[in-house]
Structure 1
């Protein structure tokens, strides 16, 4: 199975916080799920923790390489820029990643790299992996919080994405 491509400054284990969520499900494909992840208008319909999505550069609502956007998640107003955007191609995983940040001083600044990997597996299965590394004091506080809000929040995003893709079939 494939792995996330990490920028050197965000390599897991070298930042204040890291979370990893993965699902493997039967009877769905990357082609069915990708549109729901790539089109930010869909996010709030299946993931309650994403709101106020806006694009700065006139692009959107679909994500694309270099697109600048902002959204609210986990109570943070996150600015983001897509730095990896590989749409589905037969035999290769789809990839989506952005650098996100919350402006502030050394006590409130947050920097993240959030990445997604979607791949079709043998036997009609779909694998979705999403991982995020975070830097800054808010990241360190999130890492110590139990239950882990990032782990649980990203699982809700994955579960909602799968449920929405299945609902579109009906």
Structure 2
């Protein structure tokens, strides 16, 4: 059985204003090889063009950790975020990272729960799942935009993450 994202109240898919899910199952990589490219947020812009200006608060970083606050820009939004789940992959236990992100105020307020699950599967494969729910007027707008910017943007992130890990893993072999 494959693992699932754990959702906080108010962000459960189907009950939020917007939801997107992207998944890849690839051979030849492990969760441990992929994890640093996701956990070290300043690496994101090197393989995902829709992320920029990653910085940490209080001199923290560069690795995400439970409770750690950080900032980045994506989809035209300046996102303040706090890590609400962080478990590095270990053995057969999947890696999990999620953050609550927010931008704007009042009618322009956007709140998101963005979660990643990276787990080793049999046959030398790894599963990478990223899902996000959003609440607020900007989320309602994105939910009806076609092509879907969240679906396409997160697929680019997932593809870039996989390619970056593959490039590095290939160097070590």
**TM-score, normalised with respect to structure 2:** 0.96
CA distance in 1, matches of 2:74, 2:58: 20
Alpha-carbon offset, residue 160 of structure 1: 0.1
Q: Any runs of at least 4 consecutive aligned residues in structure 1 with deviations exceeding 4 A, and if so which?
A: none
CA distance in 2, matches of 1:164, 1:37: 10
CA distance in 2, matches of 1:139, 1:6: 17
Alpha-carbon offset, residue 42 of structure 1: 1.0
Alpha-carbon offset, residue 57 of structure 1: 2.3
Describe the SS at the equivalent of 2:101.
strand
Describe the SS at the equivalent of 1:127.
strand
Check conservation: 1:96, 1:117, Cα contact below 8 A: yes
Matches within 5 A, 1:11-160: 11-105=12-106, 107-160=107-160
Describe the SS at the equivalent of 2:133.
strand
Q: Which consecutive residues of structure 1, in runs of 5 or more, have no partner in the other structure?
A: none
Describe the SS at the equivalent of 1:41.
helix
CA distance in 2, matches of 1:140, 1:165: 34
Alpha-carbon offset, residue 31 of structure 1: 0.6
Check conservation: 1:57, 1:67, Cα contact below 8 A: no
CA distance in 2, matches of 1:69, 1:35: 17
Q: Which consecutive residues of structure 2, in runs of 5 or more, have no partner in the other structure?
A: none
Total equivalences in the alignment: 169
Check conservation: 1:66, 1:81, Cα contact below 8 A: yes
Describe the SS at the equivalent of 1:114.
strand
Alpha-carbon offset, residue 56 of structure 1: 1.1
CA distance in 2, matches of 1:59, 1:118: 24
CA distance in 2, matches of 1:166, 1:33: 8
Describe the SS at the equivalent of 2:33.
helix
**TM-score, normalised with respect to structure 1:** 0.98
Alpha-carbon offset, residue 8 of structure 1: 1.3
Check conservation: 2:42, 2:55, Cα contact below 8 A: no
Check conservation: 2:70, 2:80, Cα contact below 8 A: yes
**How well do the aligned residues superpose, as a CA RMSD in angstroms?**
0.7
Alpha-carbon offset, residue 32 of structure 1: 0.4
